[in-house]
């Protein structure tokens, strides 16, 4: 009698265990957790002009400071007025960062920026009002020799300067920065570096 009772209890326990196993195996599984990468923030576009070797538009990481912008533009000239700058200030998107000169010269012209003398007495008095080269302050890319281009323009070496002169001889005068960019070896960043230091004056035949 006891044996039969034990058998019955064992069968019932077996059924219960089987039911639990079936329930567990049929329970819906949770959705897998997918870890997405953190969104990358858009860079800051900052226009850097003034007493730097390579003025132009630069993309800097969010959180960049004035010193980072100066470093991107090649550092500062010795004539830069550091005392007026807060090198730790945060940059913002769309900002124009002006690096001033100690002698107070300013950046002007509608087509871009150009470093002008600090006083009117430094500008030749016989310069016509429509002179695009400001009496020789800027380099006339239509008249300068290869040596003058290489010596006076940042990022333009002897080879590139020679290509500019050769292109000018074969195709005529330059009228815009887009014309200059057609020269082999001239890249957009080169145009940004030299555009404030060149002019498109007349060709005088040398």
User: Are 65 and 200 contacting, i.e. CB atoms less than 8 angstroms apart?
Assistant: no
Please report the pLDDT score of residue 13 as a whole number. Answer: 63
Tens-digit pLDDT string for the chain (206 aa)? 555 655 566 656 666 765 655 655 565 555 677 766 666 678 888 888 888 888 888 889 988 999 999 999 888 888 888 887 888 888 888 888 888 887 766 554 333 444 443 433 344 444 444 566 766 678 889 888 888 888 888 778 889 999 999 999 898 888 888 899 999 888 888 888 888 888 887 765 44
- Residue indicated by tokens 């400071």: 65
Bridge partners, 47 (sequence order):
57, 96
Residue 50 tokens, joined: 């003034």
Pick the CATH number of 123-206 from 3.40.50.720, 3.40.50.970, 1.10.150.320, 3.40.1160.10: 1.10.150.320
Please report the pLDDT score of residue 122 as a whole number. Answer: 41
- Measure the CA–CA gap between 38 and 8, rounded to whole angstroms: 60
Reply yes or no on domain 42-116 having CATH 3.40.190.10: no
Q: Is 155 helix (H, G, I), strand (E, B) or coil?
A: coil
Domain with CATH 3.10.20.600 in the chain: 42-116
């Amino acid at each position: 009698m006891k044996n039969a009772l034990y058998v019955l209890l064992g069968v019932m326990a077996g059924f219960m265990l089987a039911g639990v196993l079936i329930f567990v195996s049929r329970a819906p599984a949770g959705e897998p957790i997918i870890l997405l990468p953190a969104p990358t923030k858009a860079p800051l576009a900052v226009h850097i002009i003034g007493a730097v070797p390579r003025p132009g538009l630069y993309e800097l990481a969010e959180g960049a400071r004035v010193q980072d912008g100066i470093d991107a533009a090649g550092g500062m000239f010795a004539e830069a007025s550091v005392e007026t700058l807060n090198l730790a200030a945060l940059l913002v998107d769309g900002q124009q960062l002006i690096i001033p000169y100690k002698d107070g010269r300013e950046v002007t012209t509608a087509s871009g920026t150009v470093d002008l003398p600090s006083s009117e007495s430094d500008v030749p008095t016989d310069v016509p009002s429509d002179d695009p080269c400001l009496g020789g302050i800027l380099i006339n890319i239509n008249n300068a020799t290869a040596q003058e281009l290489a010596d006076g323009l940042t990022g333009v070496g002897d080879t590139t300067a020679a290509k500019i002169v050769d292109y000018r001889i074969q195709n005529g005068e330059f009228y815009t920065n887009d014309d200059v960019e057609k020269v082999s070896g001239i890249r957009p960043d080169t145009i940004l570096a030299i555009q404030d230091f060149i002019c498109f004056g007349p060709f005088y035949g040398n």
